[in-house]
Amino acid sequence: METLEQVFNDIVKKYSERLYWHVRRMVGTHEDADDLLQDIFLKIWTALPSFRGEAQLYTWVWRIATNETLNWLRREKVRAALRFQRVDEELERRIMADPYFNGTDAQRELFKALARLPQKQRQVFVMRWWDELTYEEISAITGTSVGALKASYHIAQEKLKLNLSQAEVSK
Amino acid sequence: MTKKTGISVPEGYFAHLETRLQSIPGREVKPTVIQKVSPWLAYAASLAVLAGLGNFIFGRAAATEEEMGLDYISYLSQSLDPDGQIELMETPALTEEDDIRSYLIASNISVEHLNELDYEEDY
């Protein structure tokens, strides 16, 4: 029988890289993503003894990761508000200053537009578009119905297109 | 829209990431702020409960005394007619013997009693 530590190490091997990219697309910068990923795995380790196998391990791990990421974004929103700033502007500023962003202008604009989306829409878009999860998988992780997820994804996609076209026009 | 994001990681990041994350079980988990303050919160809550309980018990006792006092006053005001109360309040101080007699007469004290009083005075 596997010990908790062995199960945890398996989770790290299986999911760490994939979760890193998810978190990175959600928060923007490498430094924030790295910090948050450690918090997520610390949470997974502390919650592992209470994992009862009612959900799939995959769904359970993703659920912790997405919840922690949303909590992080909420905390950032509060921090920004305390400094009389907008969180999307603060995230944009950090993305611009991130040394591990070496994309084109269009890719930079895409990230900026992503930062302006409401958290839930951003989450659905990242999970569907980049993480390539199915709606059923996203539904199991987030507890949102497939219909609502499709609607959120559609709205997010339209907003991104609009923001990108406006950015193109303003150049 | 392109799926390429233009984001990258430091060289060898993922090679070290696994090792770093796998060291988490050996780490001493720092208590959260809530865990740090929870014993103090428990003390504060106990004190608040005791203070509330004390306030309730002693408050009730004081209220009962007050109610009793009010009851006594209302009893007096019901048992004495308004004139009686005024009479009590307006009774002058009795200093002279004549005043005492007048008072006794007004209070329907019999002549015999008055004579007895005179008789006693002679002795």
In the prediction, which pLDDT does B86 show? 47
In DSSP notation, B22-35 reads HTGGGSPPPPPHHH
What ipTM does this complex have? 0.80
Residue A93's Cβ-side half-sphere holds a number of Cα atoms within 13 Å equal to 7
Range in B22-26, B67-71, B109-113 with the lowest mean pLDDT:
B67-71
B2/A110 touch (CB, cutoff 8 Å), yes or no: yes
A contact set with B (CB within 8 A): 4-5, 8-9, 12-13, 16-17, 20, 24-25, 30, 37-38, 41-42, 45-46, 98, 100-104, 106-108, 110-111, 129-130, 160-161, 164
User: Would you say residue B102 has pLDDT above 90?
Assistant: no
- Segment B27-36 mean pLDDT: 65
Hey, how many other C-beta atoms are within 10 angstroms of the C-beta on A41?
Answer: 26
pLDDT tens digit at each of 171 positions of chain A = 778 899 999 999 999 999 999 999 999 899 999 999 999 999 999 999 998 877 799 999 999 999 999 999 999 989 888 888 888 888 888 888 888 888 888 888 888 888 889 999 999 999 999 999 999 999 999 999 999 999 999 999 999 999 888 876 666
Helices (H), B1-123: 13-22, 33-79, 82-90, 97-106, 111-122
- When CB atoms are compared, the residue of A16, A103, A107 closest to B17 is A16
pLDDT surpasses 80 at B70: no
Crossing angle of helices A30-47/A4-27, nearest 10°? 150
Residue B82 in this model has a pLDDT that exceeds 60: no
Residues of A in contact with B9 (CB under 8 A): 20, 30, 100
Q: How far is CA A135 from the centre of its chain?
A: 16
Interval B71-95 mean pLDDT: 55
Cα B41 from Cα B61, distance rounded (Å)? 30
Q: Which residue of B1, B14, B22 is in closest CB contact with A9?
A: B22
pLDDT of residue A128: 96
